[in-house]
Chains A and B, each alone.
Chain A
Amino acid sequence: MEIRERALQTFRFSVVYPNKVVGCKSVDIVFPKNEVTALIGPSGCGKSSFLKGLNRLNDEFGCTYTGSVVMADGTDVMTLDPYELCLLRGDRIGYVMQKPVPFSGKTIQQDVAMPLLASGVRDKRIIRERVQRALEKAALWDEVHDRLDALSTALSGGQQQRLCIARAIVNAPEILLLDEPCSALDPKSTQLVEQLMIELAAEHTIVLVTHNMQQAQRVAERTAFFYEGRLVEYDTTQNMFSNPKENLTADYIIGKFS
């Protein structure tokens, strides 16, 4: 499996929870630029801990890390101080959660513009412009352009998730982390979000955690299989599903365990 340009790379990356439970153990993986990479595996296999480790959201749960996560320009995410980390999360790594989380009490316009607050953009015109662009990219503009002042919590679940994606890309980050973004959505919305991911891959490197193998096949160019905190196999999606190298992977794919 060849990789032309690297967007993000981990070296022996481990996440350990404060109660000594190991989230993921010694993961070496390279995410190619402007492609969708899916992380699959049974629940509790550490794929989500790994993803939350990439932008160090796991700090919130008191996790500790070993190893390193390196961006394309050589920045090691693990060595950043809290303020650099804020910049990194704000400008370079977008994150979309499992459940759509619109900020309560904010309008759609305000909600999507929330990251701009932190980047210090104060020009109303620029804010409007960038919100519009993000909403257009997230395929939500047509549905909400006439009610930008409605509360973001009033949107439907699928719209809320696309709003969160718009919010994550409003600062044009290089990397977009998606943690099972469709698990709380209906099939129609799921289809929309999947289509969206494929489109967004033109400009962003996308890392997608999913428990749905069909989704990985539909969306991802590469797939990594996690089991019990370890990276078992990493290959192009086609190879992975047609010709898995490890027995464990094969068993998982044919549904021997889940």
Chain B
Amino acid sequence: MRDRRLLFEFAFRAVSNAVAMVVVGVTLFILGLVFVKGIGGISFAFLTSPPTGTMDGGGIGPMILGTAWLVILMSLMTVPLGAIIAVYLNEIATRNWLYNTVMSSVRTLAAVPSIVFGLFGLAFFVTVIGGGLDWLFGYEERVFQERCLLWAALTMGTLTLPTNVISVSEALKLVPDEQRHAGICLGYTRWEVVKWVVLPQAVGGILTGLVLSVSRGAGEVAPILFVGVAYFLPHFTGDVLDQFMELGYHIYVMATQSPNVDETLPIQYATTLVLLTLTFGFNSIGQVIRWMHRKKMSR
């Protein structure tokens, strides 16, 4: 009897550890695979030059620029807004139905599939806002009501909003209540407590939110599939009302719609490596900042 239980115990332990090792192994394998297959294709020329022909040669310069622009514009929207919502939830709102509504809205926003944000971008930013702006300025042809970088960035900003709210909220929760009370005892208004006492201590959280949402925004493709990304546009114009090329979308296009998939495989792996480095790098930086901030606050 005892032997059977020992055997079970041993088997269970072995299975659990083995599965954990499989998960770890798969992760490392994926990272290693992309690195090994992609590193050969990386060069300065590849990173800066535009693609050539039917995208079977050349580099990924415009895609990197497009991704960078997208991410920057997105951060300009999502980081301040995320901080505002987080501060409202944690510092201003009393725990009533309004608080609950805002809170569950943020949660819902975090759970909505990313493709739906794309639909929202098309139906709201492009059609309603863009169309409205065209009407407002009296343009005959479509200027704003086009799929373009600006609307893609706003769509991506909506998508990454919950990430920011959660990061900043976490940082605000780490600020002890005594600090707020001490501020109040000095005669601060509620906003002054936020401005002079709480926010300076939550900078780490805002930074984490920024970096994590940049990582997320650079990696997501689904929401911008039909809100501004271009199949082939060899020169990045920098105009926010133009379409643009994006790294993730480029990988998708090359892998599924390229005329000679096998020949361009090295380019694809190299592009993947660049994207992975970007998103992964930012994600790791974000985790490190979060960790350091937590350590600093817990001291």
Contact = CB atoms under 8 A, between A and B. Distances in A.
Interface string A99-127: 10101110000000011011100000000
B179 A99 contact: no
A75 to B, nearest CB: 14
Contact of B179 (A91, A95, A101, A167): A101
B189 interface: yes
A127 to B, nearest CB: 14
Contacts of B1: none
B263 interface: no
Contacts of A87: 187
A86 B187 contact: yes
A95 B196 contact: no
Interface string A31-49: 0000000000000000000
B182 A101 contact: yes
A37 B106 CA distance: 50
A89 B183 CA distance: 10
A220 B186 CA distance: 25
Contacts of B297: 104
Interface in A119-160: 119
- Which of B182, B189, B196, B197 counts the most chain A CB atoms within 10 A? B182
Contacts of A119: 187
B189 A95 contact: no
A105 B185 CA distance: 19
B173 interface: no
A152 to B, nearest CB: 11
A117 B178 contact: no
Contact of A103 (B184, B189, B192, B197): B197
Contacts of A88: 187
A89 B201 contact: no
A89 B181 CA distance: 12
A105 B192 contact: no
B200 interface: yes
Contacts of A99: 178
A101 B182 CA distance: 7
Interface in B166-217: 178-189, 192, 196-197, 200-201
A97 B189 contact: no
B187 A118 contact: yes
Nearest to B188: A118
Nearest to A83: B189
B182 A60 contact: no
Contacts of B196: 114, 117
Nearest to B189: A86
A202 interface: no
A86 B182 CA distance: 13
B295 to A, nearest CB: 13
Contacts of B181: 57, 60, 97, 101
Contacts of B184: 57, 60, 89
Contact of A101 (B178, B187, B189): B178
Using C-beta atoms within 8 Å of the partner chain, give the interface range for chain A: 20 to 34
A167 B186 contact: yes
Given A97-B178, A97-B181, A101-B179, A90 B197 contact: no
B233 to A, nearest CB: 46
- Which of B178, B180, B184 counts the most chain A CB atoms within 10 A? B184
B28 to A, nearest CB: 38
Contact of A115 (B187, B189, B197): B187
A107 to B, nearest CB: 12
Contact of B185 (A55, A83, A104): A55
Contact of A105 (B178, B182, B200): B200
Nearest to B178: A101
B183 to A, nearest CB: 8
Given A103-B197, A105-B200, A105-B201, A115 B182 contact: no
A16 B192 CA distance: 27
B30 to A, nearest CB: 40
A82 interface: yes
Contacts of A86: 187-189
Contact of A82 (B182, B189, B200): B189
Interface of B: 178-189, 192, 196-197, 200-201, 297
27 contacts: A57-B181, A57-B185, A60-B184, A82-B189, A86-B187, A86-B188, A86-B189, A88-B187, A89-B184, A89-B185, A89-B186, A90-B188, A95-B185, A97-B178, A97-B181, A97-B185, A101-B178, A101-B179, A103-B179, A103-B183, A103-B197, A104-B179, A105-B201, A114-B196, A115-B186, A117-B196, A118-B188
Given A89-B184, A104-B179, A164-B182, 10 more contacts: A57-B185, A97-B185, A101-B179, A104-B201, A105-B201, A114-B186, A114-B196, A115-B187, A117-B192, A118-B188
